[in-house]
Chains A and B, each alone.
Chain A
Amino acid sequence: MEATIDKKYTFKDFASDQEVRWCPGCDDYVILRSMQKALPEMGVNKEDVVFISGIGCSSRFPYYIDSYGMHSIHGRAAAISSGVKLANPDLSVWMITGDGDSLAIGGNHFIHLLRRNLDINVILFNNEIYGLTKGQFSPTSLIGQKTKSSPYGNTQPPFHPGELALGAQARFFARLGGNSPKEMTALFVEAQKFKGTSLIEILQNCVIFNDGCFTQFTDKNVKEDKQLFLEHGKPMIFGKERDKGMVLNGLKLEVRTIGEEGITEQDILVHDAKCEDNTLHQMLVKLQYPLATGVIRSYQDTTFEEREEALNQEVKSHSSFSKVDELFFSGETYEVK
């Protein structure tokens, strides 16, 4: 969509009159504020923005954005968003979902949305727990995690959302900690500019039922040492001292210290988010140390609606019917006199 925007917005233009009802201290507030800041930067008209959510804490999100929105039913936001986008490809469609909504009950719609590659932006709030139903394990909960439905520890191995998404042919995948508002705002704008399904996983802390589950990566004291913030075309360097980097050793991504064992910056891998082959992206999403954040994959491909539109034009150019009467009275008709 090439927006010809005739209005200047501020974040207030996108704040609805509804009182926000998340728990105090929830990362959801950060995400909401980042979105309200990002929307004026996107070059889209307010009336063209649509937020669709499923069910879960995160899915209240559309009520708090002053645009068009639908808080739908559990797991189905991907299919509803697809319908909105297919009906009107000019809209900027945002899908708000969580680890339960999209990786459990809505798993089927989620993978098919990614496979088809509609131009929809998806924000997956991953808190590794069910919040709204008050504390059961989710498909991203860790093995051994004690929750209300796993009092002796979870026995179901978790999904890694990035791995699942790349397996479903995601063209755009990014990950961020829930406490990174500045990067988040920029990422939302980037997702809007990307043509195709953009999936952003936010590691969102649930202060009530799974507090601190991401602290080991996201705490501001360890963040720089534990996260590899990826940028396309830049070397994969991280650490407070910017002295750690990634190298490929056989089929493994490994951490090396620049200046040790003869390693120089030249030896460090340069991030290519835009390549079609997602092998390295797969390795990055699975890394535990450091945790890869930022835009891991951003491969520009034809969108579903572009394929459909091309086909529509082709069929139209060959069809002899433009009105239904022409169809109804065509072919094998006969007269009764």
Chain B
Amino acid sequence: MPINYYIFLSIALFVIGIIGVLTRRNAIIIFMCIELMLNAVNLMLVAFSKMHHLANVAKDASAGIDGQLFVFFIMVVAAAEVSVGLAIIVMMYRNIHSVDVNFLNRLKH
């Protein structure tokens, strides 16, 4: 498959993620949208990594492998983020019985 498809899919996922973050007020959905953006990036990295590998495999057997390494890093970070983020959301729900981020505008004061 041409690389274009991957790129368009990835951009679509990323933009959906951004729009979700910007428009939704439910913390969990925002959270999911962030994950979506991360995964869009992952997809992109893997796609480019594969393309790069195919193009240079004759010169270097391990060409393009670093792109995939990044993906693993991002996954680890995402997992850590999820654990912390969900914990925050749980605490938030316990305190204000809501997961609406607009209630949490006390940063202003």
- Is this pair of chains taken from one and the same complex? no
- Residues in chain B within 8 A of chain A (CB atoms): none
